[in-house]
Structure 1
Amino acid sequence: MAVSAPTSTDVRLAAHTTLRLGGPATRLVPASSADEIVAAVGDADRAGDPVLVLGGGSNLVVADEGFAGTAVLLASRGVRTGRRDDGSVLVTVEAGEDWDDVVAACVDEGLGGIECLSGIPGRSGATPVQNVGAYGVEVADLLVDVDLYDRRAGRVREHVPAAELGLGYRTSVLKGRDSVDGAIVLRVRFALSGDGLSAPIRYAELARRLDVAAGERVPARAARETVLELRRGKGMVLDAGDHDTWSAGSFFTNPIVAVADAPDLEGLATWPAGDGMLKLSAAGLIQASGFDRGHPGPGGRVGLSSRHVLALTNRGSGRTEDLLALAREVRDGVAARTGVDLRPEPVLVGCSI
């Protein structure tokens, strides 16, 4: 029988988030295997204790007051590969694996399809929860199935198909601390190509940098290196010495609105979203509403990144409430200028905007 790992008490969650913000959890339990994750969460559930599952903390905003419950830190490791009948390669990844390490290892092994998701911080188990996406590729494009711990049923469900996860734009049925089935991802499986080539290049900026036409495939390594260059230029690759990277990535999702409701803003990037809907550039809306790169929040302790207006950053001495105040200022300013409601992408724990 699995035994929960040693527990720490009153550990500040700031140390476990990329924003470096957040007060203490009552308990912090590291879990180094799927069995330990199940044991730690199950013990807390049976005790009636709230549970927060922590990976890399790259998509979390935790209240200054912290979390009154058990934080389970995913530390499970393991990556396995195997050929499928159709010639693709099945990659099985434990939830606690560092995501970019997995991407790098796949590229090194000549596996393609995942390279455009390079440089994204966090743990692999979080990728289907958020349906992580970047540069024209989403986890939904690659995911085969997942193993879950169903908290409500108190059992592990293996090989749950991706089609059952409600994967959408930066969302799934698993998103949020109170997901619809109370489930926690234990491991994920992806289908990748074994020819060393990337997924078709769909993102215009990436295609230009690679000097290829949209839809072409390139060596996966070339795509990964170019994506990392683009992300570094926007402060989206973690660097402890660079406050522009002390963020939760893009704070607001690109809003999807009816074509008839789209604001008439010159130069605003838009993308068709089907059924008479249009996806709008959140960054474009923010800039059109008078918020420039480096725009300061309360006391200059937080601010928009100096490289990318979608990133709300901790400048080194910020508090969560400072960040939330900045988020409200941006949200309200965009609504007043454009009539569009911006929604946060990170999971907010014990706080709201």
Structure 2
Amino acid sequence: MDVMTNISLKQYTTMKLGGETRYMATADSAGDVVSLYRNARKENLPIFVLGGGSNVITHDEVFEGIVLLNKIKGFEVISETDETTDVKIGAGEVWDEVVEKAIGLGLQGIEAMSGIPGTAGAAPVQNVGAYGQEIADTLISLEAYDSKTDTIVTIYADECDFSYRNSIFRDKEKGRYCILNITLRLNKAEPKPPYYASLQRYIDENDIREVNLSVIRVAVLNIRSEKLPDPAELPSAGSFFKNALVEKWKLEELQREYSDIPNYAMSDGRYKIPTGWLIDKAGLRGYRSHGMRVYEKNALVLVNDSATGYDDLAAIREEIVQIVFDKFGIKIEQEPLELSR
């Protein structure tokens, strides 16, 4: 277990902004995690768990605590039936590599989440999802260190309080748990229609007659490459804003003025409206301010061209939020988590 001091967080987050952390430690096992938390408690230091850094925004002030890099590995089939296979995955595994391994085993359920950056342990935190799939669909349980009780606990899917891009881990129990591994139940079956609209459009436009798991993966990766910049070339945090959720009356109000407004019915009776569409309709695609830019190929994405600090990001975020609210009466929300002092 390595512990480093005074480390710049710019090199550990894909937006390439932020200050330093007083301490940074790498955890390769559950034992490392427990030791770090217990030592931090003795020194009265806060801990922030960091995976791939693709969905985290850091402030400029020094974080007077420990950033824990979760590097716990593992990919193990633990049980199976004729129809399903349960796989236990270390929290530090790269998510896209997990998807690739699952497809290699002929397991269905997460193939549409190909290309999502970050680690497996981060997936339940915001209930990651794409193209009609989300982690809540396949997660059975997870093991985590509970900093409140100083124990390792098992948390089942129905205890995670999953909703759109949310869970107990970024809501009411934020900061309490460090996820050690997750267990998914995947199907021994090829994908079947209906597919997510943009995925079906890709299949149709490319005249794909036979759809399997590998075809879905290639399609998703190609779609993503057209819409999302490579953070190694253009610093960003992927989709910066959550898609908007509105009540039926609000959707009907908007449809009277915008008959073409895209929307998707949610299980809770609300409707999801693509925030990229809202930002685009507000005339902000390609908008530049404070060294930041709304990505021309996907208005959900903010790119760091020359911003030097968190205040630059906060400024353009507030400008976009206000402009969208003034035009549509919808207050859009940031998706990435924030590490602040």
Equivalent of 1:22, from 18, 27, 46?
18
Q: Deviations over 1:213-264 (max 9, x none)?
A: xxx993110000000000000125x352x21xx2111111112111212334
The answer to whether the aligner puts 1:259 opposite 2:248 as a matched pair is yes
Question: Aligned residue for 1:60?
Answer: 56
Stretches of structure 1 lacking an aligned partner (at least 5 in a row): none
User: What is the identity, as a one-letter code, of the residue corresponding to 1:184?
Assistant: C
User: What is the identity, as a one-letter code, of the residue corresponding to 2:329?
Assistant: G
Deviation at residue 275 of structure 1 after TM alignment: 5.3
Q: Is the 8 A contact 1:144 1:190 kept in 2?
A: yes
Q: Deviations over 1:312-334 (max 9, x none)?
A: 11125542221111111100100
Deviation at residue 86 of structure 1 after TM alignment: 5.2
Q: Deviations over 1:240-299 (max 9, x none)?
A: 2x21xx21111111121112123342422111225552221111111121211x21121x
The answer to whether the aligner puts 1:315 opposite 2:305 as a matched pair is yes
C-alpha distance in structure 2 between counterparts of 1:199 and 1:349, whole Å: 40
The answer to whether the aligner puts 1:330 opposite 2:320 as a matched pair is yes
Question: Aligned residue for 2:116?
Answer: 120
C-alpha distance in structure 2 between counterparts of 1:120 and 1:288, whole Å: 26
Question: Aligned residue for 2:239?
Answer: 250
Assess, with a 3 A threshold, how the Cα gap between structure 1 residues 96 and 274 changes in structure 2: closer, same or farther. closer
Paired residues, what number?
334
C-alpha distance in structure 2 between counterparts of 1:198 and 1:68, whole Å: 47
Q: Deviations over 1:117-166 (max 9, x none)?
A: 000110110000110000010000111110011110110003x2111000
> Which SS does the other structure have where 1:36 is aligned?
helix
Q: Is the 8 A contact 1:201 1:217 kept in 2?
A: no
C-alpha distance in structure 2 between counterparts of 1:111 and 1:316, whole Å: 42
Superposition pairs of residues 155-166 of structure 1, within 5 angstroms: 155-158=151-154, 160-166=155-161
Moved more, 102-111 or 260-269: 260-269
Question: Aligned residue for 2:168?
Answer: 173
Q: Is the 8 A contact 1:55 1:122 kept in 2?
A: yes
Question: Aligned residue for 2:228?
Answer: 235
Q: Is the 8 A contact 1:198 1:217 kept in 2?
A: no
Question: Aligned residue for 2:203?
Answer: 210
Superposition pairs of residues 1-353 of structure 1, within 5 angstroms: 5-85=1-81, 87-158=83-154, 160-175=155-170, 179=173, 182-195=176-189, 197-198=190-191, 200-211=193-204, 218-236=211-229, 238-240=230-232, 242-243=233-234, 246-262=235-251, 263=254, 264-274=257-267, 276-292=269-285, 294-298=286-290, 301-350=291-340
Q: Is the 8 A contact 1:144 1:189 kept in 2?
A: yes
C-alpha distance in structure 2 between counterparts of 1:340 and 1:100, whole Å: 33
Deviation at residue 192 of structure 1 after TM alignment: 0.9
> Which SS does the other structure have where 1:71 is aligned?
strand
Stretches of structure 2 lacking an aligned partner (at least 5 in a row): none
Assess, with a 3 A threshold, how the Cα gap between structure 1 residues 135 and 65 changes in structure 2: closer, same or farther. same
Q: Deviations over 1:73-128 (max 9, x none)?
A: 01111110144235311111000111111111111222221110000110110000
Q: Is the 8 A contact 1:113 1:220 kept in 2?
A: no
Deviation at residue 200 of structure 1 after TM alignment: 4.8
Alignment TM-score, normalising by the size of structure 1: 0.89
Assess, with a 3 A threshold, how the Cα gap between structure 1 residues 48 and 304 changes in structure 2: closer, same or farther. same
Deviation at residue 38 of structure 1 after TM alignment: 2.1
Assess, with a 3 A threshold, how the Cα gap between structure 1 residues 316 and 75 changes in structure 2: closer, same or farther. farther
Q: Is the 8 A contact 2:13 2:56 kept in 1?
A: yes
Q: Is the 8 A contact 1:150 1:181 kept in 2?
A: no
C-alpha distance in structure 2 between counterparts of 1:155 and 1:115, whole Å: 33
4+ runs of 1 displaced by more than 4 Å?
Answer: none
> Which SS does the other structure have where 2:278 is aligned?
helix
Identity of matched residues, %: 32
Deviation at residue 180 of structure 1 after TM alignment: 5.2
User: What is the identity, as a one-letter code, of the residue corresponding to 2:215?
Assistant: A
> Which SS does the other structure have where 2:69 is aligned?
strand
